[in-house]
Structure 1
Amino acid sequence: MDTTNQMLTITGESTAELNVGDTHSPIRVIGNNAIRQTFDDQTLTQAINCRLAPGVSDVVLNPDAHVGYGAPVGCVMVSPTHVYPGPVGVDIKCSMSLLQTNVPADAIAEPTVRRKLIQAIGKRVPSGAGRGQRHVPKSRTVDGRLGFQVATEGASKNVLKKLGIPKDWAGRCEDAFHTAPDGSSDTLAARLEWMGRKRDSLDRLESKYRQLGSYGGGNHFGEAEIVHVDQDPENRAIAESFGLQHGHVAFLSHCGSRGLGHDLAMGQFGSMKSSFQKQGLAFPAGDSQLVYAEADSENGRLYLCDMAMGANFATVNHLLINQLVLEAFRDVFPSVQGNLVYFISHNIVRREDVGGQTQWVHRKGATRAFPAGHPGLARTPFAETGHPILLPGNPRDGSSVMVAKPGASHSAFSVNHGAGRRMSRTKAKKMLSQYTIDNNLTEHDVMSNCRQYPLDEAPDAYKDFAEVLASVKQAGLATEVARLQAKFVIKDGAPADD
């Protein structure tokens, strides 16, 4: 939009600034001219509201940015003192993971083979809002005791053993587990025990535990992809060090903390709003979705406890899905081997060093991007390369694996989490043609488990992925080491969890 570009000061080919007044540093904007046209005034207004909110020191707007819950989806919000539930969202630790197999691309060329894989996965991994293990015959059984452990311990050795997940996969996680602010899982256990004693809450908690190992609705998905490693020798070496295999099948997943995370987040929104009202405090910009707490206050500590439990559930949810998908592949290819490449979140708040100061980094639809040598990667397999960045585009145009460059410091060591919406769900359902979408995917040899692909999740409902990636590269934040080409998609048409 012309009005959008008039609000921005262009500082580079794919960088700009949004001025918010003399007393605050400007919002840093990542996006080339084509991407800047996708930022509507409401998105920019939400970004400004975030920057002017109490305790906020920095805001970054990524190329996938669009209107969200209080804060834009696709933004980074930094504060040394405050935590904000809105810039994390209700799907706590919604994340991406990538499983690399040794199945060659030509082994799944035939549609009949892909249909067998779709059916085998469907017998193990439910999809859709509210669905859990009871809906499929070959999932894992998760009772109340195990669910409690998952929420309070994350990907501990004991949890992984009980679920039959390889223990070394924990080392391939951005964070294998989360604790309370005091560093203890016992504090989380006491908090969850207290929740379970509330009227009717134990049954509800256990029903949410049973969603472990499942996809939600909306934009949650699993995709079988063919890996195309970049031919540049340096990029290829990095991709191979990640465990990526050129010309072989990988499985990309997008989901989060399911109903448990949603309930924990909504409980915190209600509690903080009530606290504001009792104290007579004004919401930032009059928006209750920007409710907040000082991190070291009681409300702040309780939020961080609940977020940690949702994040632990999301972590194990991904790991279990990957194990179940691998087992499904073995129904069709009995000797298949597979390894987790990486698991990385994009709805989380973490303590990180930003500008030489330890701060709370909120990523709402934004992905961590630590380059080689970053202290946060010390003693991990990625210390010398930077960690994998998993960016979903869409089934038609593919997805990407990137790695951060030192320039990522410009964006609080963050990049976009995908392509980002250009149409609301309502507009997509009104404007897009079912026939055109389904035919387009067929022409690109992409199958799905859907009789009709959801219009609000169609590729054309999202931004131009090529321009999004170009913006990231041109801004010097990251470089691409591999491209993923979708061959089939597991989705559900139910409303999104996030």
Structure 2
Amino acid sequence: MDTTTQMLRITGPAIAELPVAAADGGQDSISPITVIGNDAVRETFCGQTLRQAINSRLAPGVSRVVLNPDAHVGYGAPVGCVMVSPSHVYPGPVGVDIKCSMSLLQTDLPADAINELTVRRKLIKAIGKRVPSGAGRGQRNAPKSRRVDGALGFQVVTEGATKSVLKKLGIPKGWADACEDAFHTAPDGSSDTLAARLQWMGRQRDKLDRIESKYRQLGSLGGGNHFGEAEVVQLVQDPALRKIGESFGLRDGHVAFLTHCGSRGFGHDMAMGQFRAMKSDFEKRGLAFPAGDPQLCYAEADSDAGQKYLCDMAMGANFATVNHLLINALVLEAFREVFPSVRGELVYFISHNIVRRETIDGMRQWVHRKGATRAFPAGHPDLARTAFADTGHPILLPGNPRDGSSIMVANPGASASAFSVNHGAGRRMSRTKAKKNLRQEAVDQGLLDHDIISNCRVYPRDEAPDAYKDFGEVLASVTQAGLASEVARLKAKFVIKDGAPADD
């Protein structure tokens, strides 16, 4: 354990504090970083991860930083952290995949309906005809996808999941109510401001062509850690938690589909454009980057630069929202190709790469979640007049295909972590290390031993279960810290990943 890790002060079950010294060497005015993780998880935090957390806490305008149990080294700020500020916005602690998210579609199909491998392969093929997977892939790679032209793409990214957009794409209108946020506006509350900014961006023909090419990725999975998984739902035995799971629409012993993806190339371009603009502004003004790291560039939220960032983030977030809803509609359509009478409903859609305005410590602040999931418990004012006001909303946490994924609900104790939990298991190996150290035969056979198949000729080694932290310990950290409780476990039956074969 390195020196920085040894500085952690244990304050409660699976909760610790990391003291932060101010620039003048004092500590009185700087609140410590909240670290969520039991003994086993804290061992996974390397010194660089903690150093990035400290750099983030000392950055201008930051009032609070939380490190979740899935935390690992990121760009500027760690992946798996929460960064709170009353006044500033930071592109780094949102990332380039704006509103990377999770969604869950629950069907009325009993689990034994997909026991046979031949049935699962039919479903994989039917989904592949509608939902392409892999970096850079879009509708042209899927003959039964929805076609999105420039006009519809423009409407999607400036309006989000409005009734008009959903109708044009054949998405059930009620699914918008199962979204953390169905749409995002400019800071002034207007979609017209987003439209004006996007029109300005598209004045150059080459830029317009690129923007419209990204629209055609709607309804597609990306590469890397993005996936779609067919799951069997297993509700917990605790009566109260089981009742909450049932209220979410979960069906014990039935098939569901879990999706992880984000804003694809459109969101990436929005984010990279903002990184370039803010870095250039820093250099022109002779400003120093926090800790000398350009990935921690920032702007005051009410400044011109801050407003532009929030507009571009909103458009990326709108793309991600509609992308998820469209994927779920196409997946349900694919299931109906194999099982014509199957029915399905969206349980929830929730993000983990975004900045939102929320009440933290008694005041409205900008909450940056980088690889962190919102966790509002029952009675939270932001859930008023929603279906989740009396229970808290579903929290969708992917683990890995072998060990399963989890659905949780927040407890009042989530206030200790700025109403946030982890977004998954978190990496314990870099992609390079995983490709070097994990044997392809062992990875593929390990999934088959658990009755899991995929669309890949060989499963990507850098996405193998052993490349990630122990999901059981990660979940234990969340429950031991009193942040959330599990209502269901999801057992994977097949996986849709980037179809490119792993390196040999």
Q: Say yes or no: TM over 0.5.
A: yes
Please name the residue that 2:248 is paired with.
242
Q: CA deviation at 1:3?
A: 3.7
User: How far apart, CA to CA, are the structure 1 residues paired with 2:210 and 2:381?
Assistant: 40
Please name the residue that 2:426 is paired with.
420
Q: CA deviation at 1:7?
A: 1.8
User: How far apart, CA to CA, are the structure 2 residues paired with 1:476 and 1:224?
Assistant: 30
Preserved contact between residue 98 and residue 341 of structure 1 (Cα < 8 Å): yes
Q: CA deviation at 1:4?
A: 4.9
User: How far apart, CA to CA, are the structure 1 residues paired with 2:216 and 2:11?
Assistant: 49
Q: CA deviation at 1:395?
A: 0.2
Q: Within 5 Å, give how 1:89-108 maps onto structure 2.
A: 89-108=95-114
Q: Within 5 Å, give how 1:21-60 maps onto structure 2.
A: 21=21, 22=27, 23-60=29-66
Preserved contact between residue 90 and residue 296 of structure 2 (Cα < 8 Å): yes
1:185 is the counterpart of 2:191: yes
The one of 78, 85, 89 aligned to 1:72 = 78
The one of 485, 488, 496 aligned to 1:482 = 488
1:16 is the counterpart of 2:16: yes
SS at match of 1:328: helix
SS at match of 2:259: strand
Preserved contact between residue 160 and residue 166 of structure 1 (Cα < 8 Å): yes
Please name the residue that 1:459 is paired with.
465
SS at match of 2:350: strand
Preserved contact between residue 70 and residue 80 of structure 2 (Cα < 8 Å): yes
Letter in 2 for 1:205: I
Letter in 2 for 1:367: T
Aligned length, in residue pairs: 495
CA deviation map 1:431-453 (0-9, x unaligned): 11111111110000001001100
Q: CA deviation at 1:458?
A: 0.3
SS at match of 1:348: strand
User: How far apart, CA to CA, are the structure 2 residues paired with 1:153 and 1:44?
Assistant: 38
Preserved contact between residue 120 and residue 494 of structure 2 (Cα < 8 Å): yes
User: How far apart, CA to CA, are the structure 2 residues paired with 1:494 and 1:75?
Assistant: 30
- Cα-Cα RMSD: 0.9
The one of 487, 491, 496 aligned to 2:497 = 491
Preserved contact between residue 4 and residue 37 of structure 1 (Cα < 8 Å): no
Please name the residue that 1:393 is paired with.
399
Preserved contact between residue 404 and residue 479 of structure 1 (Cα < 8 Å): yes
User: How far apart, CA to CA, are the structure 1 residues paired with 2:450 and 2:65?
Assistant: 38
Letter in 2 for 1:106: D
Please name the residue that 2:217 is paired with.
211
Q: CA deviation at 1:69?
A: 1.1
Preserved contact between residue 228 and residue 247 of structure 1 (Cα < 8 Å): yes
Preserved contact between residue 2 and residue 37 of structure 1 (Cα < 8 Å): no
TM-score (norm 1): 0.99
CA deviation map 1:327-384 (0-9, x unaligned): 0000000000000000000000000000100000000000000000000101110000
1:6 is the counterpart of 2:6: yes
Please name the residue that 1:356 is paired with.
362
1:164 is the counterpart of 2:170: yes
Letter in 2 for 1:20: V
Letter in 1 for 2:187: P
Preserved contact between residue 4 and residue 39 of structure 1 (Cα < 8 Å): no
User: How far apart, CA to CA, are the structure 2 residues paired with 1:315 and 1:200?
Assistant: 26
Please name the residue that 1:198 is paired with.
204
Preserved contact between residue 455 and residue 499 of structure 2 (Cα < 8 Å): no
CA deviation map 1:162-190 (0-9, x unaligned): 00000000000000000000000000000
Letter in 2 for 1:348: I
SS at match of 1:441: helix
Q: Within 5 Å, give how 1:92-491 maps onto structure 2.
A: 92-491=98-497
CA deviation map 1:39-81 (0-9, x unaligned): 0000000000000000000000000000011100000000000
Preserved contact between residue 426 and residue 456 of structure 1 (Cα < 8 Å): yes
CA separation of 1:284 and 1:4: change in aligned 2, threshold 3 A = closer
User: How far apart, CA to CA, are the structure 2 residues paired with 1:236 and 1:279?
Assistant: 56
SS at match of 1:61: strand
Letter in 2 for 1:9: R
Q: CA deviation at 1:199?
A: 4.1
TM-score (norm 2): 0.97
SS at match of 2:451: coil
Q: CA deviation at 1:12?
A: 1.6
User: Hey, which bits of structure 1, 4+ residues long, moved more than 6 A?
Assistant: none
User: How far apart, CA to CA, are the structure 2 residues paired with 1:448 and 1:86?
Assistant: 33
SS at match of 1:200: helix
Preserved contact between residue 5 and residue 47 of structure 2 (Cα < 8 Å): no
CA separation of 1:134 and 1:70: change in aligned 2, threshold 3 A = same
Q: CA deviation at 1:13?
A: 2.3
User: How far apart, CA to CA, are the structure 2 residues paired with 1:481 and 1:76?
Assistant: 24
Letter in 1 for 2:346: L
User: How far apart, CA to CA, are the structure 1 residues paired with 2:500 and 2:262?
Assistant: 15
User: How far apart, CA to CA, are the structure 1 residues paired with 2:84 and 2:142?
Assistant: 41
Letter in 1 for 2:435: K
SS at match of 2:295: helix
Query: Structure 1: any 5+ residue segments left out of the alignment?
Result: none
Preserved contact between residue 5 and residue 46 of structure 2 (Cα < 8 Å): no
Please name the residue that 2:24 is paired with.
none
SS at match of 2:479: helix
User: How far apart, CA to CA, are the structure 1 residues paired with 2:184 and 2:20?
Assistant: 35
Letter in 1 for 2:454: S
Query: Structure 2: any 5+ residue segments left out of the alignment?
Result: 22-26
User: How far apart, CA to CA, are the structure 2 residues paired with 1:55 and 1:40?
Assistant: 26
Preserved contact between residue 4 and residue 51 of structure 2 (Cα < 8 Å): no
Q: CA deviation at 1:194?
A: 0.5
Preserved contact between residue 217 and residue 494 of structure 1 (Cα < 8 Å): no
CA deviation map 1:200-254 (0-9, x unaligned): 1111011000000000001000000000001110001000000000000000000
Preserved contact between residue 290 and residue 296 of structure 2 (Cα < 8 Å): yes
Preserved contact between residue 218 and residue 494 of structure 1 (Cα < 8 Å): no
Preserved contact between residue 160 and residue 319 of structure 2 (Cα < 8 Å): yes
CA separation of 1:2 and 1:46: change in aligned 2, threshold 3 A = closer
Q: CA deviation at 1:11?
A: 1.0
SS at match of 1:327: helix
Preserved contact between residue 218 and residue 493 of structure 1 (Cα < 8 Å): no
Q: Which moved more, 1:18-27 or 1:184-193?
A: 18-27
SS at match of 2:10: strand
